[in-house]
Amino acid sequence: GENVEQHPSTLSVQEGDSAVIKCTYSDSASNYFPWYKQELGKRPQLIIDIRSNVGEKKDQRIAVTLNKTAKHFSLHITETQPEDSAVYFCAASSGTYKYIFGTGTRLKVLA
């Protein structure tokens, strides 16, 4: 079955710097790759997603890139702000209704 690995597990950046979180997946049939943000004590919420027919997608300060050949995808956050501090989860789905999540990255933005 699908396996998703996520790195790093923790990431600290200075406010205003960029943050990059990377995920790799095992199932070459995976075709949908969402990213979820979970603030402390709250529910995960979708922040951006990408499908396998697209290489990159941007939404203001966040972007996701996908390399199907290497089976990895990354989340990029530019000009980080304190409110970006949270746990970020990547996920992969091969169209079987199963969404398999990575183990999460705790991002700390230092003021």
Partner 1 sequence: NAGVTQTPKFQVLKTGQSMTLQCAQDMNHNSMYWYRQDPGMGLRLIYYSASEGTTDKGEVPNGYNVSRLNKREFSLRLESAAPSQTSVYFCASSLEGVGGELFFGEGSRLTVL
Please say which residue, 76 or 99, places its beta carbon nearer to partner 1: 99
Q: CB of residue 9 vs partner 1: minimum separation in angstroms? A: 7
Q: CB of residue 27 vs partner 1: minimum separation in angstroms? A: 13
Binding site for partner 1 (CB under 8 A): 1, 6, 9, 31-32, 34, 36, 42-46, 49, 51, 89, 91, 93, 95-104
Which residues 6+ apart lie within 8 Å of 69 measured at CB? Answer: none
Are 76 and 90 a contacting pair, CB within 8 Å?
no
CB 60: neighbour CB atoms within 10 A? 9
